[in-house]
Amino acid sequence: MSRLTLSTLALIPLLAACGDKGGDDTGGAVDADLATAQDIWSEIAGYDSWNQTADWTGIQESADGTHGSHVQIWLNDLAYDTIEAGAGGDMPDGAILVKEGYSDSSGASLNAITAMKKISGFDSEHGDWFWVNYSEDGTVNMYGSESACYGCHESGQDYVRFTTW
Ligand code: HEC
């Protein structure tokens, strides 16, 4: 057996481990969550024509640079209407917020597209938010109940960081 074959074989368990990008779920739940992540990609098609808030229209400097030096944020109608109403409380079931993160002020270099969707009953301990990180072509990089996301977002109103309402 050649050295190449051996090293290729050694990679297989590693690749299998990388394939499981879901949060804390195991077994079938991971597949269900991946399907949800892919459904959300379809649901947010054309998000760049969604509403933005007056304070966060177009490309803005990020507060902390986590998602890139600059970001742009869009809201589906449920999320936008909640913010515009300014009545406080939590986001309703079905609310979606989408963000592009860039490493430059013009938005030429897109790091990732991230989204958060409120799915009632999905993760009640963490605000029922489903988190996703996509590449530009829709490849799902992270998804589900992600402590890497809600751990930082929990300081916001109902886990939303860019504004309050
Ligand atoms: C260390 C802190 C931190 C982590 C970790 C983090 N975010 Fe964020 N996120 C922010 C901040 C701050 C904003 C507000 C925009 C800005 O200033 O960049 C934001 C904005 C967003 C927004 C726009 C709505 C909002 O809440 O303002 C989405 C969607 C989002 N993040 C998704 C994610 C996802 C998905 C993950 C995990 C893969 C994640 N974030 C991890 C800090 C974080």
| 8 in a structural domain | no
Examine residue 12 and state whether it is found in any structural domain, yes or no. no
CA-based angle 62:66:71, to the nearest 5? 35
Burial of 43 (0-12, 13-18, 19+ CB in 10 A): middle
- pLDDT tens for 100-151 read 999 999 999 999 999 999 999 999 999 999 999 999 999 999 999 999 999 9
Distance 149 CA to ligand 1 centre (A): 7
Chain mean position to CA 60: 18
Ligand 1: residue whose CA is nearest its atom 2 = 152
| pLDDT (0 to 100) of residue 30 | 63
Q: Domain range holding 119?
A: 25-153
Domains: count for the chain: 1
Predicted structure pTM score? 0.87
